[in-house]
Structures are given as C-alpha cells and as structure tokens.
C-alpha cells in the first residue's frame, strides 16, 4: 500500500477552481474515509486571511459545491487540518516562510516531507512557481515524494507546451508531474476500457468491419461566462479538442493494453494520437466547421451573442463551436470517420459517444420494409452516466412492422448512486502515486501536433467562422459535414432517437 501521508499545498487557494472543485473533493474524500491519517492542506493566496477566516470561506465553498451536504461534526475535524499561508507567487521571502511552515506541519502531522503541490493558478504562473519550489529546495524528492499537479491548459500550442514541459522537467521528474485532464476522472471514462475489454459482445466487433462511424460530442448550454479573456486566446479547438475530446477519442480507439499498468495504457493511447491524420490547408474546409454563437434563447431565456460578452472583442473571430471529421490511420480504423463536435450555447448540455454500426446486407427485411435504423451504442458521460443500445425489433401485433428499440443502463439515475466527482478520484490518485488518469507528456505532444495542424490550416482566414443562434445545434455546415458522407448526428436522448416510437 502506497504511503499517502502528505501535505497538499494549493497555490491559488482563493480561486474559483479551489472553491468549486478542490475543497469539496477534499471534504468528500474525508467523509468517505479516503484521506490519509497523516494529512494537512495549506492554501496559498495573496489575500490577508487568517487560518480561521480561510476555514470559514472553505466551509462556505464546501456547503455550496459539495455533492454531499456538509456534516458540521466532520467538517470541524477536517477544518483543523486546513491552513492558509499568504504569499505572492514571485516572492522569495514568501517561499522561505512557506517552507518553514510546511516543515513545522510535517512534525505535527507526521507527513515526512511528502507534498502535493497543486497549481490551481493561471498558466502563466506554472513556470514561476515550479522555479521557486526548485530554488527553495522544496521539490527534491529525496527520502520522500513531492508531486506537482498542473491544471489545463498545458500550453497553447506545441511550442509553448514544449517550453513549459522543459521548465517543469528541470524541477520534477516526469513521474512526479500530474497533468490534469479532469475528464479522465469521470466515472464513464474509466468505464470505457471496461466496456470494451471486459465484454465479449463488443470488442470483437470494435473495428472498421462493423463500425460505420463514431461520434463524440461535448455540448454545452453555457456561454463563455466570466472567462472571456482566456477564451479569446483559446477558442473551442484549443480549449476542448486538444484535451478532453482527444482523450475520449484515444480511449475509444486504442488497442487493448498488454496489462493495466499506467504506462501500458498510456502507450496505447499515445499510438492513437500519433495515428491521427493531420489536417492541411487543402483538407480543412472539408473536415472542419467552426462557428461562434450569436444571440438567441437558451432554456427559454434570451442570451447575448459571444461578441457582446464581457472581455470579448466586439469583432472577435474566436470559435465557440467546432465540428471535425477525423481519421485514425491504422489497421483497425482505416476508413472509419470519427466526428467530433463541441460548442457553447448549444441546444442541450451533454457529453456522449455514439458508435454507429454498419447495416446488414439489404436482403431480408430491407426488401419489405425499406432501410432499417442502424444499431447504435451510446456511452453517456455527463450529466447522465451510462450505456444505451439501440437495435431493431418487431412491434407487437398482427401487422409486421420493425421498429428501433433500446436498452438503457443509467448508472447515476438511482438516488442511492451519487458518483464521486472527477476531482475526488484525481486527488486520491495523486496521493496514491497513480498517474494513469493523468496525461503523459507524449500524449500532450501528439495532441498539440494534431491541433496545430488545424490552426495552421486556418491561418490567414476567418471567412469560415459561421455565426449560429444560441440554443441551436451550431452552424448548418456541421450537419453537412456528415450528410455528405451519408450520416447524421445522433442527438440521442434517454427516450430514444428523435422521432421513433418505443415498444
Ligand atoms: N475554474 C474552473 O472551473 C477551472 C476548470 C478547469 C481548469 N481551470 C484552470 O485552473 C486554474 C485556476 O483557475 P481559476 O478559475 O481557479 O482561476 P482564478 O479564480 O482566477 O484563481 C486564481 C488564483 O491565483 C491567485 N493569484 C493570482 N495571481 C497571484 C499572485 N501573483 N500571487 C498569489 N496568488 C495569485 C488568485 O488570488 P486572488 O484570489 O487574490 O485573485 C486566485 O487564488 C487555471 O489554470 C484554469 O485554466 C479552472
């Protein structure tokens, strides 16, 4: 059993991520009995707070954002282990004082010098903080472990990612760098490998002989909210495709690993990313659709256009929507298009993967009843978690008619099932020293290489940034992208695919 004893040092302890995700995750791990006996949290921020003031703010954050309601007795025990330390990220004296403080806590909590340094800060501070930790001898990994957790985005292109990685590697060995893609902590992502590799039903047909196309979509109804300045520099391609969507694709397309060790799994994922066919200036218009939300209605309420959002340029051409047709050039997937779609202010909020299977030869029923609906396997990721299978069956009755029906396994519908948040699993894994659900450098490198090919292909043009009304499924061109291949987006809901009756 790994020694999980540690002090978790959160840089950006007063930030949004800490309040909404990290503190609630720590609380839930505590109530589930998953925190080590020897443990403390030190939140680092530049505000003038005492430990007590910070604990009160932390309580408020947990009460607002935790999946479980707060239990006062449990909270008061945990709160005693939460500390606040004031320091600016650049301030030498601040690190000296932080180091002395952590050393003292080591004695009180028997944490032996083990550290999780969580950088919940804007990316421009990653290098500064890592450099300061090195300069103050706080990342030695000598007779103890000291790990760093890096939030996304890891760079904004291959060049900047390389630079950042180079800087981090001067301080931490790759095995001590935990690059977060919080999607990997989601229950259903961990389930993809189980569904594929623990079922004789699926794996034998998981290839280009039986699969027509794969659709991966992360649809959001929210707009850019208060992140306009970040989003203007990122856009949907960098923000979502480089990270979450390519991670989903690699799990769906990977070969079975030789075993379940971290590196065996990551080796297979990286092979998929390396097999992605680059998009060029010649192919970009046929393979990528980008758009930006205009004004419209979401959930019946009027919303403004992206260009009217705070901290967004009124003539911005940043894409808030992107749909892509991607090819994985290997023997398993040759000829199978993978369609990816993500956007803000769309008609519905959901993340899912739809596998569309090939039709049987049009012989028996086809002659009588015309084309049948294809078999679909849907992996729901959020907010619904589960698996859905559509197949054809005879409608009961005297008349012979064939209709698509479905079986639906919903993992988080039952009241008793309160799935852990992704950050709970990820924090737990960092303390255990298991980096399977974090991205290795070569995964980041290959995904940026692919994304950069699109950015380069777009260079010098923006006439293809299509405005779509908020509350719709994006630009019509995204439908055309599939239509010209004879496919359509499957906007499956738990009730089925729009328009058909169930048994
Ligand atoms: N928020 C999310 O849900 C989310 C989701 C995914 C990824 N992320 C990533 O997580 C990271 C943090 O995001 P966030 O939304 O939490 O940002 P945020 O709310 O702006 O928080 C930034 C934190 O850094 C502190 N800070 C900034 N400059 C500092 C300085 N010079 N010295 C000391 N402290 C300083 C801020 O202190 P003050 O409170 O004093 O300003 C605050 O605690 C980013 O890399 C972001 O991309 C966030």
Q: Write the pLDDT tens digit of every residue in 364-377.
A: 887 777 888 999 99
Please indicate whether residue 112, judged by its CB atom, sits closer than 6 Å to ligand 1: no
d(CA 165, CA 151): 13
The packing angle between helices 187-197 and 246-253, to 10°, is 20
Q: Give me the phi and psi of 173, to 5 degrees please.
A: -70, 150
**If you take atom 1 of ligand 1, which residue's CA is the nearest one?**
17
Q: Report pLDDT for 369.
A: 79
Q: Report pLDDT for 498.
A: 55
Burial 289-303 (b: 16+ CB within 10 A, else e): bbbbbbbbebeeeeb
Give the residue, out of 87, 94, 122, 247, with the most ligand 1 atoms within 8 A of its beta carbon, to mutate for a pocket test. Answer: 122
Q: Report pLDDT for 417.
A: 59
DSSP 348: S
CA of 121 to the centre of ligand 1 (A): 4
Closest atom of ligand 1 to CA, residue 180 = 7
Q: What are the residue ranges of CATH 3.30.360.10 in the chain?
A: 184-356+435-483
CA of 134 to the centre of ligand 1 (A): 21
Burial environment of residue 330 by CB neighbours within 10 A (0 to 12, 13 to 18, 19 or more): middle
Please indicate whether residue 222, judged by its CB atom, sits closer than 6 Å to ligand 1: no
pLDDT tens per residue across span 127-140: 999 999 999 999 98
Please indicate whether residue 295, judged by its CB atom, sits closer than 6 Å to ligand 1: no
Q: Report pLDDT for 503.
A: 32
Closest CA to 6 of 128, 123, 149, 197: 149
Query: Could you tell me if residue 159 is left (phi over 0), alpha (psi between -120 and 50 degrees) or otherwise beta?
Result: alpha
CA of 28 to the centre of ligand 1 (A): 22
**If you take atom 6 of ligand 1, which residue's CA is the nearest one?**
152
Q: Report pLDDT for 502.
A: 34
Q: What are the residue ranges of CATH 3.40.50.720 in the chain?
A: 6-151
pLDDT along the chain (503 residues), means of 10: 93 96 97 97 97 98 95 96 96 96 96 97 94 95 93 94 96 96 91 96 96 98 94 96 97 97 96 97 96 95 97 97 98 98 96 96 80 94 94 87 91 74 95 96 97 96 94 97 96 70 33
Please indicate whether residue 475, judged by its CB atom, sits closer than 6 Å to ligand 1: no
Give the residue, out of 18, 53, 95, 121, with the most ligand 1 atoms within 8 A of its beta carbon, to mutate for a pocket test. Answer: 121
CA of 125 to the centre of ligand 1 (A): 10
CA of 472 to the centre of ligand 1 (A): 32
d(CA 278, CA 64): 44
Q: Report pLDDT for 415.
A: 58
**Beta strand extents in 253-328 (DSSP E only):** 288-298, 301-303, 321-327
List Cα–Cα distances, 31 to 8, 51, 249, in angstroms. Answer: 17, 22, 34
CA of 15 to the centre of ligand 1 (A): 5
CATH superfamily of this structure's domain 184-356+435-483: Dihydrodipicolinate Reductase; domain 2 (3.30.360.10)
Please indicate whether residue 121, judged by its CB atom, sits closer than 6 Å to ligand 1: yes
Catalytic (active-site) positions: 244
- Tokens 């002090």 belong to 7
- Taking 3-state DSSP, the helix, strand and coil percentages for the chain, each rounded to the nearest 5, stand at 40, 25, 40
Q: Give me the phi and psi of 109, to 5 degrees please.
A: -105, 5
**If you take atom 25 of ligand 1, which residue's CA is the nearest one?**
12
CA of 17 to the centre of ligand 1 (A): 7
Q: Report pLDDT for 154.
A: 94
Assign 3-class secondary structure to 478-495.
HHHHHHCCCCCCCCCECC
**If you take atom 32 of ligand 1, which residue's CA is the nearest one?**
88
Chain length of the chain: 503
Q: Report pLDDT for 53.
A: 98
Burial environment of residue 419 by CB neighbours within 10 A (0 to 12, 13 to 18, 19 or more): middle
Class of domain 6-151: alpha beta
Burial 393-411 (b: 16+ CB within 10 A, else e): eeeeeeeeebbbbbebeee
Please indicate whether residue 65, judged by its CB atom, sits closer than 6 Å to ligand 1: no
Give the residue, out of 9, 10, 44, 46, with the most ligand 1 atoms within 8 A of its beta carbon, to mutate for a pocket test. Answer: 46
């Amino acid at each position: 059993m790994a020694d999980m004893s540690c002090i978790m040092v959160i840089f950006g302890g007063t930030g949004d991520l800490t309040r909404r995700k990290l503190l609630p995750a720590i609380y839930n791990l505590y109530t589930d009995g998953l925190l080590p006996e020897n443990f403390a949290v030190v939140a680092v921020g530049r505000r003038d707070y005492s430990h007590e003031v910070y604990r009160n703010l932390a309580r408020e954050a947990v009460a607002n954002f935790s999946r479980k309601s707060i239990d006062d007795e449990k909270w008061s025990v945990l709160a005693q282990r939460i500390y606040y330390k004031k320091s600016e990220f650049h301030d030498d004296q601040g690190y000296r004082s932080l180091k002395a403080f952590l050393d003292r806590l080591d004695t009180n909590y028997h944490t032996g010098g083990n550290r999780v340094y969580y950088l919940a800060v804007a990316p421009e501070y990653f290098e500064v903080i890592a450099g300061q930790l090195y300069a103050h001898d706080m990342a030695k990994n000598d007779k103890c472990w000291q790990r760093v957790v890096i939030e996304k985005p890891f760079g904004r292109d291959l060049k900047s990612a390389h630079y950042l990685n180079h800087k981090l590697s001067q301080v931490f060995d790759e095995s001590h760098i935990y690059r977060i893609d919080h999607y990997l902590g989601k229950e259903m992502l961990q389930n993809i490998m189980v569904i594929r590799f623990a079922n004789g039903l699926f794996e034998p047909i998981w290839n280009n002989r039986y699969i027509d196309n794969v659709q991966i979509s992360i649809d959001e109804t929210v707009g850019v909210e208060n992140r306009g300045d970040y989003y203007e520099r990122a856009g949907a391609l960098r923000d979502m495709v480089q990270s979450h969507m390519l991670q989903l694709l690699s799990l769906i397309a990977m070969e079975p690993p030789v075993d379940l060790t971290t590196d065996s799994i990551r080796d297979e994922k990286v092979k998929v990313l390396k097999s992605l066919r680059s998009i060029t200036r010649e192919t970009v218009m046929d393979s990528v659709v980008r758009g930006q939300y205009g004004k419209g209605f979401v959930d019946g309420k009027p919303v403004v256009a992206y260009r009217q959002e705070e901290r967004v340029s009124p003539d911005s051409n940043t894409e808030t929507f992107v749909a892509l047709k991607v090819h994985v050039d290997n023997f398993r997937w040759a000829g199978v298009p993978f369609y990816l779609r993500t956007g803000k202010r769309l008609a519905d909020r959901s993340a899912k993967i739809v596998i569309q299977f090939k039709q049987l030869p049009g012989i028996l029923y086809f002659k009588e009843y015309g084309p049948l609906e294809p078999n679909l396997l849907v992996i729901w990721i959020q907010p619904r978690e589960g698996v859905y299978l559509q197949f054809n069956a005879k409608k009961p009755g005297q008349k012979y008619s064939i209709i698509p029906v479905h079986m639906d396994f919903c993992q988080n519908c039952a009241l008793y099932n309160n799935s852990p948040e992704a950050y709970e699993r990820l924090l737990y894994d960092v303390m255990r020293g298991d980096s399977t659900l974090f991205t290795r450098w070569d995964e980041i490198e290959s995904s940026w290489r692919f994304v950069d090919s699109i950015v380069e292909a777009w260079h010098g043009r923006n006439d293809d940034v299509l405005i779509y009304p908020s509350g719709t499924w994006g630009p019509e061109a995204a439908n055309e992208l599939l239509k010209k291949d004879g496919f359509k987006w499957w906007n499956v809901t738990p009730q089925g695919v729009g328009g058909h009756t169930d048994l």
